[in-house]
Structure 1
Amino acid sequence: MRNSCVYMTCSVVALLSGGAGAAESPSSVFTLGQINVSAQTGGQPIGGASLSAEEILTFNKPTLDQALDLVPGVVSSTTGGQRNERLVYVRGFDRFQIPLSLDGVRVYLPADNRLDFGRFLTPDLSEIQVSKGYASVLDGPGAMGGAINLVTRKPTREFEGELRAGLSFDNDAAFGGYTTYGSVGTRQERFYLQASGTKTETTHTGLPDDFKAVPSENGGNRNQSHTADWRVNLKAGFTPNDTDEYSVNVLKQSGSKGAPLNVNDTTANQRYWSWPYWDLQSVYWLSNTKLGSASYAKTKLYYNTFQNGLYSFDDPGLTRQTLARSFRSYYDDKAYGGSLELGTDLIPMNTLKGALHVRRDDHREWQRLYPGNFVEPKQQALEDTWSVALENSVHVTDALDVVLGVSHDWRRLHKAQDWNGTATGSMLDYKRADSDATNGQGAVIHRFSKTGEAHASVSARSRFPSLFERFSTRFNGTASNPDLKPERAINYEVGASERFGSTRIEGALFLSRLRDVIANAPIVINGQATTQSRNMASGLYRGFEVGVSTSLTPMLDVGGNYTLTIRSLSDPAVPNMKAVGTPNHKVFLHADWRPTDSLTVVPSVEAASGRYSQSTSGTVFLGNGGYLLANLQASYALTANAELSAGVRNLFDSNYSLADGFPEPGRTAFVTARYTF
């Protein structure tokens, strides 16, 4: 137990500070599912980070947004409001500008790509890869500010498995939910098989004791805060030799959630929404084949489906649907495509790679409208996205690499429909417009010692606007714009890391310039004032990250990281525009104390300064105060295979919000049991 804890804690700070540190054993990571990395950066994206399964477990982070909050430069937040979505920002870039992939397969919602990071569970992951600023063009389009990739596990032994169960309790020691996880797998000489499943349910979250009751929320158990999620993952692989691998994977996840009310809004401004299902399924093929002595080919094929239900009600009890503001909205989407990547080391001191990506998105939606109980005809949007990329790495010396990459992305819209009106309405076919973008990037990596490395990079990337941004009328409040152009950013970074004895120090400076940022512009159509999405805003993001880890004694390791992020956005239509969702300052500190071979105690502190959010109407920017959270967890190894853990998050019951009107949970306790075989 002691050895694994020493290793895990040392890797936590190395990885969380974004440099090249140790990770979970490569044999247990599904390498076919990793995104492109530089072999000279410790198996991580250039300037990026990797978070291992043991690190996620140690700090008890069962959902993706919670886990990513450990990484410097990454901040979790929330939309608040009736959507109740958990968000993630990477150095200020939001979910539309940071692609999310699962085993390298893009998770993209064809209508609006409004990903809810709280719906993605972490127990079945081997690692989370985070590219910050610089994401390889080989991995496909859209990585304007970075990328996030969830890597599943594969078995390492002839027969193995894991069982995990946990309970959570609110500030009054009342039952608040549970998490379960189980996996079983086998690895043979020429094949492997694995099955896993995880389920998390939250009956409610508890508000801090000092929360003051308001008409929409009386304190105690947060109304409509329930969530339920599960995921099943099946994997089969064929390894005919030491270099080639072929894998078929099936993943299905399902979620549901409530939508807590804004505690600062009047009753007239409240909206009563619920999400009865938020489901995702993916079937995908991944392969890696060695060609000759110095080349390879990787292939990827996938078929994804996404079903989503959103219900709006008349009343806070969610029992009546009679008013015009009530509805039932349904999405039924699918996406299918693939990629081919080729690489070779045949040219001396050179690695050349190329990739081709293609994806078709098929979105279908309809609504049940009230009063009248009218069901719209299904509306369809059909779109293809292509990307071709080339990347070349010149190995100038054994210690110096220069990487250059270029890609061209293009998109073809075949159909975009909407239903205009209610029972007497008609089908509307929007004007079709295509789009394309060229991207370029470069990096220099210098290994100046056996344990030290420095890098500098620049990456000019783009992202296409979603169907929602181009065509949604936002409940008849805005006009469509089929000619909306891609957003663009140029990201600069310099960073370095070095180890001095048992101490490791890492840091990075970053700056991003954004242009053609999509914003709402006031316009007049046929004498009526409205708004329209246009490429009219610009931005400047800059800051730095630093991480330190050290062993104070054989029984005590400490570490932490700090991030400064300063964001400014300029929009001619909004004179006092604020960048929402991210604090200027973010700190994470932790210790790992091992008083005995069986007992490990891990205290940690999470702190952040204030951030801005928007009012329900979207017309006012509101400030939210910062927070300082103390957490504590202890683990006891009963045997070499069995472990019990208990802990408390938000130990001092701090009352804080990430979005105005939506307080976060107060003190929460948990207990977990884990058994491996």
Structure 2
Amino acid sequence: MSMGAMMTRLLTTTAISGGVLLALSTPVDAQTPLPPIEVNAPKAFELGQIKVGARRLGVPTRAAEPGDGAGESRSTQAVPSEKVDNGPTPSQHTDAFGGYTITNRQMETFARPTLDSAVNIAPGVNSQISGNSRNEQNIYVRGFDRWQVPLTVDGVRVYLPVDNRLDFARFLTADIAEVQIAKGYVSVLDGPGGMGGQINLVTRRPTREIEAEWRTRFDFGRDGTFLGPMTYGFVGTKKDMYYAQLSGTFQNYDGWMLPASYRSTLAQGSGMRGQSYTQDYNINARVGVTPNATDEYSLSFSRQEGQKGAPLHTTDPIATQRFWRWPYWRVQNLYFLSRTQLNEAAYVKTRGYWSKFDNSLVSYDDPSFINQSLPRSFNSAYADYALGAEVEAGTQIGDIDTLKALFFYRLDNHSEWQENFGQNFRGTRSGCVTSVPCFTQPLISSIEDTYSAAVENTFHPRQDIDIVAGFSYDWRHLRQAQGFAVPQGVINYQPIDVQAPNYQGAAIWRYNDTDRVYFNGSSRTRYPTLFERFSTRFGGATSNPTLMPERAANFDLGWSSLIAPGMRVSVDVFYSLVDKLIQSVPAPQFGANVTQSQNVGGGRFWGAEISADYFVREDFSLGGNVTFIRRRVYSPSILNFQPTGVPDFKMFLYAGYRPIPQLTLTPSLEVADARWTTITNGNWYYRTGAYCLTNFNADYTPGDNIKFSAGVRNAFDDYYVLADGYPSPGRTFYLASKVNF
């Protein structure tokens, strides 16, 4: 086990007296309460909706104190920028059903500039590199990965139609007010796909008549090498009847440095990690109309773009490796959100969006990343788009029942083409010239419709008890699916439709004003991607049009209590049964070394999470969380198969100390047990990745509207590997500033 890294986190509640969350858009240390936004409670508990007498729709009669978890749910509308609390560190926040919220303040305090780094703050959640030439960061929620945990932005699904291989390192956090993580239990009103959880990014929104913010950050390697800058700007206005905003983030890093204890190989020397450079930017614009206290109509536009290299495996032979780069990776969204109060007992919400995804991958002959003359070299491009709409309606029936319904529709269109080198359309080298495409394959495309109809009912037998039941039916209609192979040419696959039901139930008992017990269960599915069904994977796989959805039955029992003034403790115990797990398995009947995606797996995931915050006094706080998880997966087609990417044990601890009003010191400790990894193109698994990282952050606020920060991650420069052949960064320093206007 190594030593080093960062204090990245905060913990899990908030109704702590003296521990109220406070905001970033006001002066740096202003203390304006932030209304609680809870992640994973069913939408029957939405904030600010219908009132029947003293009771809001689906909300207990007693008023929710900030952060006490009184039952508010994950909000898909944009929320105000998150606020600075009056304690030395921002506290953690769990919701009424085991979900978790990471605030903008937490991400700033613990230096989490990208989504993959931010989620490691949360119990039961971890991220790590994919461990191959794609150089992607994957996220696991209680053992479920990016295919089984959808990502949304303000409730709008971010989905890549062909393979949904989201790279979470491309999502920058400076403009995110909250990261809301549902774990296990996902409301059927959130749409299809929430098999193991869901992550919603709630974008920032102005809270004052005139508001602006500017942030800068500079990162340095262990020896002082300048790695690159990050810049963020925000300007907005909020009036009685409308609001408007514009923001953007830009970061450009030459790469990162390996720890000093790393020993050079033929593929990777010491110092800077080869091909680890990244460049990302995003811009966001929104206008909204608020004609009264309950209604809102907003139009938003966002665009994010990145480019990156792909570091080589440090020990695999050079001749067997891929030499890939991504010249561009682009996601663009235009979406409209509305919320209308029809009367005291009914509301309707709508969501409509157009999304576009463009991606380019370039493959080279060798580590020079110049030559393209071999059949392994190509220029590949994706051009995808999606159109979608959702309508949700709810009504209060009497004083003890709430009924909600949702209809979801999404159209996904995928197009791709490829320029090939060193091989013509007959599969030979005849006529090919170095660095000139030998032939360009025809444009191929796939078109797919996804529908979901859902209903959810919340029964309130008493003011302190809520019982929720939900059902949805999802179906996917495949209009067209095409592939390409040499020398066969364009392949038209037989479209096959898939349907699946989903079920959920939950109960929460708030046995006093600060404490609660809850239990939930759900049975959710995840549809296979086009890639899993039809991709030939450069000739190494065969299609499986009849591939069926995966399914997981999730159960969660939790308790949260303010056990003493300033101290909150939360405990969750969870268990998941996974069926029809999709795995790539050998298919010798189709040729040597050929694989096929099949429903051959099943498994069990189980574990526990413990979180605690303790405000010892006004200038000193402690907190942290611990996660225990075990995963057992049965795979009869793969010898000695082990589920990779998730440690058995994970812990985050932090302390906050404010020796003088202007200075806050925040050390933290991040610990993880070993996890399974596998060698390249092999079935041999082994354990790696255990670490103990020490991080430190110092904030200095000389005035109400300015703050300077300095810190270090992996302070002891520890060497650790989370995926075979892909070591993690060594010691990193940073300097940052923030100015509010």
**Counterpart in 2 of 1:398?**
463
Measured in 2, the distance between the counterparts of 1:318 and 1:404 equals 55
Q: Does 1:214 align with 2:244?
A: no
Whole-Å Cα distance in 2 between the matches of residues 389 and 144 of structure 1?
15
Counterpart CA distance in 2 for 1:30 and 1:83 is 38
> What is the aligned partner in structure 2 of residue 502 from structure 1?
566
Q: Deviations over 1:81-114 (max 9, x none)?
A: 2100001000000000000001100000000000
Structure 2 residue 543 is the aligned partner of structure 1 residue 476:
no
Superposed counterparts of 1:50-69, under 5 Å = 50-69=101-120
Q: Matches of 1:675 and 1:437 in 2, distance apart? A: 50
Instruction: Select 2:369's aligned residue among 308, 318, 321.
Output: 318
Residue identity in the other structure for 1:142: G
Residue in 1 aligned with 2:418?
367
Q: 1:585 to 1:33 in 2, by over 3 A?
A: closer
Structure-2 residue corresponding to 1:4 = none
Letter in 2 for 1:13: L
Within 1, Cα distance between the matches of 2:379 and 2:419?
A: 5
Contact 2:456 / 2:468 at 8 angstroms: preserved in 1? yes
Look up the equivalent residue of 1:199 and give its one-letter code.
Answer: F
Structure 2 equivalent of residue 426 of structure 1? 489
Distance in 2 of aligned mates of 1:668 and 1:526: 49
- Paired with 1:77 and 1:544, the residues of 2 have a C-alpha distance of 21
Partner secondary structure for residue 208 of structure 2: coil
1:42-53 equivalences under 5 Å are 42-44=72-74, 46-53=97-104
Q: Deviation at 1:347?
A: 3.0
Residue 224 (structure 1) aligned with residue 270 (structure 2): no
Structure 1: give runs of 5+ residues left out of the alignment.
1-8
Superposition deviation, residue 36 in structure 1: 5.4
Question: Greater shift after overlay, 114-123 or 522-531?
Answer: 522-531
Q: State the shift of 1:29 in Å.
A: 8.5
Q: Which protein has the bigger strand share?
A: 1
Higher relative contact order (CA 8 A, sep 6+): 2
Could you tell me how far apart the structure 2 residues matched to 1:523 and 1:604 are? 48
Among candidates 29, 38, 41, match of residue 71 of structure 2 = 41
* Equivalent residue in structure 2 for 1:408, among 454, 460, 473: 473
> Which of the residues 458, 461, 467 maps onto 2:530?
467
Q: Which moved more, 1:425-434 or 1:25-34?
A: 25-34
SS at match of 1:141: coil
Alpha-carbon distance change, 386 to 30 in structure 1, aligned in 2, over 3 angstroms: farther
Amino acid at match of 2:465: L
Alignment of 1:522-537 (within 5 A): 522-525=586-589, 530-537=594-601
In structure 2, give the amino acid aligned to 1:453: R
Q: 1:554 aligns with which of 607, 618, 629?
A: 618
Matched residues in 1 for 2:542 and 2:304: separation?
35
**Contact 1:15-1:50 within 8 A present in 2 as well:** no
Evaluate the alpha carbon distance shift between residue 251 and residue 30 of structure 1 in structure 2; reply closer, same or farther with a 3 A threshold. farther
Question: 1:426 Cα deviation (Å)?
Answer: 2.5
Q: Give the secondary-structure state (helix, strand or coil) at the position aligned to 2:703.
A: coil
Tell me the equivalent position of 2:379. 328
Q: Which runs of 5+ in 2 are unaligned?
A: 1-6, 24-31, 46-58, 60-69, 75-94, 423-431
The corresponding residue for 1:599 is 663
Determine helix, strand or coil for the equivalent of 1:469.
helix
Alignment length (residue pairs): 664
SS at match of 2:347: strand
**Residues 26-46 of structure 1: CA deviation (Å, up to 9, x unaligned):** 997898999954354244552
Match of 2:693 in 1: 629
What residue number does 1:6 align with? none
Q: SS state of the match for residue 13, structure 1? A: coil
Residue deviations 1:504-547 (CA, integer Å, cap 9, x gap): 11110000000000112333436766322111100100000001
Q: Deviations over 1:533-581 (max 9, x none)?
A: 1111001000000011112333210011000010111111113110100
Q: Secondary structure of 2:677's partner?
A: strand
Aligned to 1:5: none
- Residue 270 of structure 1 and its aligned partner are, at CA, apart by 1.4
How many angstroms apart in 2 are the aligned matches of 1:327 and 1:71?
40
Inter-partner Cα distance in structure 2 for 1:526 and 1:506: 52
**Are the counterparts in 2 of residues 127 and 151 from structure 1 also a CA contact under 8 Å?**
yes
**Which residue of structure 1 aligns with residue 84 of structure 2?**
none
Structure 1 pair 526–184 and aligned structure 2 pair: CA distance change class (3 A): closer
Describe the superposition over 1:343-365 as per-residue Cα deviations: whole angstroms up to 9, x where unpaired: 01133301110000000000001
Which deviates more from structure 2 when the two are superposed, residues 625-634 or residues 368-377? Answer: 368-377
* Contact 1:406–1:441 (Cα < 8 Å) also in 2: yes
- Letter paired with 1:88: I
Q: Deviations over 1:128-165 (max 9, x none)?
A: 10000001000100000010000001111100010000
**AA in 2 matched with 1:558:** L
TM-score (norm 2): 0.87
C-alpha deviations, 1:208-250, integer Å up to 9, x for none? 0010010011110111000010000000000111110000000
Between the aligned partners of 1:179 and 1:33, the Cα distance in structure 2 is: 29
Summarize the alignment of residues 67-106 of structure 1 with structure 2, pairs less than 5 Å apart: 67-106=118-157
* Contact 1:103 1:150 (8 Å CA) reproduced: yes
CA contact (8 A) 2:638 2:683 kept: no
Counterpart of 1:357?
408
Q: TM-score, normalised by structure 1?
A: 0.95
Aligned AA for 2:10?
Answer: V
Quick one: distance in 2 between partners of 1:323 and 1:588?
48
Give the CA deviation at 1:620.
Answer: 2.4
Matched residue SS, 1:167: strand
| Residues 428-443 of structure 1 mapped to structure 2, 5 A cutoff | 428-443=491-506
Root-mean-square deviation (CA, aligned residues, Å) is 2.1
Distance 1:596 1:621 in 2: 51
**1:455 aligned onto 2:518:** yes
What displacement does 1:268 show?
2.0
Given that 2:36 and 2:72 are in contact with CA atoms closer than 8 Å, whether structure 1 keeps it comes out as: no
Q: Does 1:563 align with 2:627?
A: yes
